[in-house]
A and B are shown apart, each in its own frame.
Chain A
Amino acid sequence: MRKWSVIICSINAAKFAHVTQCYERLLAGRSYEIIGIHDAASLCEGYNRGIAQASGDILVFSHDDVLLLDPGFADKVETRLGTHALLGFAGTTEVRDAHWWAAGTASQRGAVAHAAPGARSLSLFVYGVGDEPVDSVQAIDGMCMVAHRRAVNSVQFDATTFDGFHLYDMDFSYRVHLAGLGVGVMNDSPIIHMSSGDFDAVWDTYRERFLYKHADALGLGPDAVIPAPQPIQARAADFQSPAELIAAWQPRLLRRATIALLRGQT
């Protein structure tokens, strides 16, 4: 039996308790450990510390504000890590910038539900879902990343360049992709993210670092003009309960929503 190591950087005891309970439920009956990092200097530093402590074959790098609703999550991951060394829930088939939706709707993959603090509903965002339950991508969002041990044996988080809380995920997943290990987005596993990212001046700083670091891979010359980030495009719907959300999370429905999304952009 393969062992799981769930690594969570959290300074919020209540959120840590919530997310821990979620993983305990998902991994019940399996061998697993929860590694809480409560004093991370940066997410890269925290995750690297977690990796050093982890004894599992499967490593989960998770935010403390996610809720996974799929009871089959663990089975699916164990099967899919054979072909993709890193799995996530939203990402892109083409990295062009530091945010994963930069290449446009045709390259977006995944579906995520968001529940903003105080919101009365769960908002399902369909970014792009194809015919297969896992789409191969170049980079993923870091709300929840699941890695096979072989991925972290080859690639570690870059705590030097990304010494804050931004773009650790894009950098890590892109490098896993560039290493040829395979990165995938699962679209048949419902997930709720309880926050959205902050795209402030600090983020801009890390964006510059990301683009500088990956200029060659991205084919960016010294005079390259990078357009300003645009808002993410998605098909969205609001649901009043997790049960309603799960009822909507059907592959054929998400695929058809993707067709409508792509058509709406052309």
Chain B
Amino acid sequence: MIPDATRFESDLRSLIALGDLDGALAFIRFLVDHVRFDPAAIGVTLGSPALDKLCSEIGALTLAESRQRAAASKPARNADVIILATELYALGGHSRVIADLIATRPDKHHLILLSNFFDSAEAAAAQSLASATTQVEIAPVAGRLDKLLWLQTGLARHPDAQVYVFNHHGDAATIAAIQPGLNREVSFCHHADYHLCLGVHLDWVRHVDFFAPCQHRCRAAGIAAEYWPLSVPDRGTRSHETSSFGAGTALTTCSSGVWSKFDENYPFHYADVIGEILRASGGKHLHIGGIPDDGLARIHASLAAQGIARERFEHIPQVPSVWATLIEKQVDLYLGSFPIGGGRATTEALGAGIPVVTHRHQLDPLLGAWGLGPAGTWSWATLQELGDILRQLTPARLAEHSLAARQHYLTHHSPGVFAQCVQTGQPATPPDFPAPPNDRLVSYLLRSAVRQESHTPVIEELHKRLQAVTEAGGQTSMPRTTQAPAAGGIADAIALYEAGNLEEAGAAFSELHARQPGEPQALTYLGLIALRAGMPDDARTFFTHAAGSSKDAANTQAAIGQRCLELGEAALAIDYLEAALKTNPALVGAYALLADALQQRGNAERALALLKPLMQQTRELHPEILLRIARLAAATGETGTEQAACMLGRQYAECHSRLLQLMAQYHDTAAATLLEETKSFVEKHAKVARSSLSAGSRSRLRAGFVVGSIDSSPITQHLESLLCELDGERFETLLFFDRIHDMASAQRLSLIVDESHTFAGMDPLGAAQLVRTKHTDILISLEWHAQLPALMIFSQRAAPVQINYSRPARSSALANMDYIVSAAADSSHFTERVLHLPHDDDPIRYASSFGDMLVEAWQACGGSLGVAA
């Protein structure tokens, strides 16, 4: 039996009937968020008539009180237009649409009411729209019910106003606040249009879409959607002359948008596609918009792996106008962001007369901004299609599309068209819209691949909440629990929490709190429980009280930060860890946690800047700090800092190992010097006396390959090729690995090896024992000191023959490494005996020689092949 998914509606209605309006609003938001953050729901679940109706029912219950409050405080000036939004941003599509909306009627008095439903409204961004005729008011930080009353009171004060609603997806207070008859006319402006959004199905409001494809989709869903085409100011066009377009090496392509539009769980990633674009276009690619450090590193790594010069990719983090930049940079072709398209940026490109290519998202073509632009606009769904488009470009075709793009802009997206819709209230006629091409089977497969497990927990949590409220006799705004356990100590309550029994843990901590008001641990855990129940506002309240009542506020704040980080709430963790360090800068552990939180938020540079000054201290730094500095420096490309940290932490194996890599990789270290440092490493961290295991007679040799990480690196690719080509008659193959970073590679390897085993979590002795129990005859290391856990297996004697096959060949200096595979005849820089393999770049050619070599090594240590064991 699976839970009844329709139960949420009756549960919410019961919650409303019991008077827990705040809880009902919270769970509506919770439910929307869960669906919204499921990648498989994108483009499918766009609205819910049931949730919209529930919001309306909640708002109807508060209407009388809101009207009373409004009557008690008349406004100084009546507003002609009210814009109801959740929040505004300095950058952001809907904020600009609101600005355009206001600009169309400068003679009207506008009032912007921000629900601040998530308590994250940027006051500065909101006030940027304020003027003599536009007033901005932001709801105070408060409960959800308070926000609803605040909004509704604001609306009730201006019954003659025309209302435009720009709510964020889960802003239940805004949708509850608007009520039939409360204001003159309400228009729901559907800007959050590819995820589940509240308000989409309200049948008594005007439903406005800003893009033709979105309007088409809403109409298909039975909504009387109107088309008010989004406009952008006209900043002129590029030349449509054929001679003005580059071709071959002169072709300039460009993409723009916030990084989240590119960084999706999708069959291919922008970072890897840039190389494809550059190979096909032969020119240069620009990216306008912020890219986090790790994203940029990924792009550069991908370009390097594809042999494409980094200079052919230019990153422009921020520009005043995408339109102007496209013209200034003489862009020949605009590739809309993918897999998620950007309507406004694409419209700017059309206006600038730039030929446009849109992406047909494999879940739903419209998500990739397919359908924007004139008929015949290029679009692609697969890399093959994109490559074909780019390879078939000619200056003449580009000029033709350039002209069509500009014409389309003038007809549909120039400011006059939008202004006319707003001023007259008459919707525009959308351009002809063909049925979206979509391979629904591919969509299905992709949705299956990205789907979240279940939304059952949300529905279950809601039901528990209802039970709690029912038992409490209604009207509660805090999580209640069904049963309070017998009085127990804090340790018992923590044990309940750690065991995942949040309900009982909540009761236990509540009881502790009742007995000992202000007990900081109880308050901290109550906050964590609220956080895990999706109530960050309540969590903050508990945390603030916990820190305030603690004798050691800094440590309490650090502990809260640590627990938030463990729950994946990096932003919250940063707040508390920063507060902890402000109170007590000597909390070294808090630095490490804060660095982790910053890195999780994509801010590795700031994390490094936080930790670097600690290296100047005279006292010895904790290895965890040194390792973090080294890793952050590696991630941000600060090789000097990384080397300095590794040098300082040389007494720790990981730092020393990394130091060796740096010496080998970044510096022209003499082979003799590298060998000496390697010997020093082994002396300090891996000193084990040479030993032996006997070799016997075998009908087939069991060859074990050891890698630290299965990923998409050249080492894994080389291993895959080698395993495919190694003679199956003479060898059985075993794979020993520590971690999997690329599941597809791991799956391919699992197909072709006879056995695969992980040594994750094992110490070197345990891992070596695993290798022995699998009767491995020859153990081969494919990495040098880059993968410490893997190499340490070889320090023990795990197999009768142990071979170092690092490429390029570098001595391991381990006493128990018998051989090294090298193309060079000179053996002076190796502690191992040399197995000579002249050419090893193509496993198809050398696999046979490699096999012969393994057999020779086996025979050299007394073994034989061809006789049954």
Known contacts: A248-B748, A260-B754. The answer to whether A17 contacts B725 by CB under 8 A is no
Of all chain B residues, the one with the shortest Cβ separation from A69 is B442
List residues 721-752 of chain B with CB under 8 A from any CB of chain A.
723-725, 728, 732, 743-744, 747-748, 750-752
- Distance (whole angstroms) from the CB of B858 to the closest CB of chain A: 19
The CA of A71 and the CA of B382, in the complex, are separated in Å by 13
Binary interface encoding of chain A residues 112-127 relative to chain B, with 1 for a CB under 8 A from any of its CBs, else 0:
0001001111101010
- Residue in A25, A247, A259 whose CB lies within 8 Å of B748: A247
* Nearest CB in chain B to that of A259: its residue: B728
Specify which chain A residues have a CB less than 8 angstroms from the CB of B451 in the assembled complex.
120
B853 within 8 A of A: no
Query: Which of A49-57, A88-96, A169-177, A237-245 is found at the contact surface with chain B?
Result: A237-245
Chain B residue numbers with a CB within 8 Å of A118 are 448
State how many angstroms separate the Cβ of B23 from the closest Cβ of chain A.
Answer: 33
Of the 9-residue stretches A28-36, A40-48, A73-81, A250-258, which lies at the interface with chain B?
A250-258
Q: Which of A22, A119, A244, A264 contacts B441 (CB 8 A)?
A: A22
| Inter-subunit contact A256/B728 (CB<8 Å) | yes
A137 vs chain B, min Cβ distance (A)? 22
Q: Is the CB of A244 within 8 A of B744?
A: yes
With A121-B449, A257-B751 given, is the CB distance from A247 to B732 under 8 Å? no
Does chain B have a CB within 8 A of A202? no
B713 to chain A, nearest CB (A): 15
Q: Is B268 an interface residue (CB 8 A)?
A: yes
A239 to B751, CA, bound (A): 12
Q: Which residue of B lies closest to A250 (CB)?
A: B724
> In this assembly, does A263 line the interface, its C-beta being within 8 Å of a C-beta of chain B?
yes
A192 to B444, CA, bound (A): 13
Q: Determine whether the beta carbon of A18 is less than 8 Å from that of B440.
A: yes
Contacts of B304 in A (CB 8 A): none
Chain A residues near B732 (CB, 8 Å)? 263
* Residue of B441, B723, B743, B753 with highest tally of chain A CB at under 10 A: B441
Q: Which of B262-311 contact A (CB under 8 A)?
A: 267-268
In the assembled complex, the CB of A168 is this many whole angstroms from the nearest CB of chain B, namely 24
| A245 CB, min distance to chain B CBs, angstroms | 9
Q: How far is the CB of B522 from chain A (nearest CB, A)?
A: 40
Q: Check B747–A257 contact: CB distance below 8 A.
A: no
Contact B751 A237 (CB under 8 A): yes
B579 at the interface (CB under 8 A from A): no
Main secondary structure of the interface of B (DSSP, over half): helix
Is A214's beta carbon under 8 Å from chain B?
no
> Does A67 contact B441, Cβ atoms closer than 8 Å?
yes
Chain A residue at minimum C-beta to C-beta distance from B384? A71
Contact of B725 among A242, A252, A263 (CB under 8 A): A252
**Structural contact, B267 and A256, CB atoms closer than 8 A:** no
A25→B439 CA distance, assembly (Å): 10
B446 touches A257 (CB 8 A): no
Which residue of chain A has the shortest Cβ distance to B843 in the bound complex? A252
Distance in Å from the Cβ of A225 to the closest Cβ of chain B? 34
Q: Are A21 and B744 in contact (CB under 8 A)?
A: no
Residues of chain B in range 702-728 having any CB-CB distance to chain A below 8 Å = 720, 723-725, 728
> Quick one: which of A111-148 are within 8 Å of B by CB?
115, 118-122, 124, 126
A256 x B448 contact (CB < 8 A): no
Residues of A within 8 A of B440 (CB): 14, 17-18, 21
Q: Which of A115, A235, A241 has the most CB atoms of chain B within a 10 A radius of its CB?
A: A241
| B448 surroundings in chain A (CB, below 8 A) | 115, 118-121
Taking Cβ atoms with an 8 Å cutoff, the residues of B that contact A are 267-268, 384, 439-442, 445-446, 448-449, 451, 720, 723-725, 728, 732, 743-744, 747-748, 750-754
Beyond A250-B724, A252-B724, A257-B751, 9 additional contacts (C-beta under 8 Å) are: A22-B439, A25-B439, A119-B448, A120-B451, A235-B751, A242-B445, A248-B747, A260-B751, A260-B753
Which residues of chain A have a CB within 8 Å of any CB of chain B?
Answer: 14, 17-19, 21-22, 25, 67, 71, 115, 118-122, 124, 126, 192, 235-244, 247-248, 250, 252-257, 259-260, 263-264
